[in-house]
Amino acid sequence: MYIALVIFARWDPLRAMAGARLFGGVFALQLRLQAQGVQLPYELLLALPYLMTIAALAIAGRNAPYPGAYLKPYHRE
């Protein structure tokens, strides 16, 4: 989930803080809905943060810029 947050934030610390609040809020919402006894299968409520992560990556990760050295092997000199 943390890698998804970095991609969602597009390597910007301020966007990362906003994304962390968003993902944390969805996690807290899932717990609150379970405690209130919402008439949904508990498996769906447990999957809610992960479904939100997939949706956020599908929307924000489409044209996300990557660092220049991303996926290049590191060779120690």
- Number of domains present in the structure of the chain: 1
Asked whether residue 45 is domain-assigned, the answer is yes
Which residues form the domain of 44?
2-60
15 domain-assigned: yes
**Residue 35 within any structural domain of the chain:** yes
Q: For the chain, what percent of residues have pLDDT higher than 70? A: 90
Asked if residue 53 lies in contact with residue 23, where contact means CB atoms within 8 angstroms, the answer is yes
- Cβ–Cβ < 8 Å for 21, 75: no
Q: What is the pTM of this model?
A: 0.69
Is residue 44 situated within a structural domain? yes
CA distance 56 to 21: 13
Classify residue 67: in a domain, yes or no: no
Phi-psi region of 76 (alpha: psi -120 to 50; beta: other; left: phi over 0): beta
How far apart (Å, rounded) are the C-alpha atoms in residues 75 and 77?
6
Residue-wise pLDDT tens digits, 22-52: 889 989 998 898 889 888 888 888 898 889 8
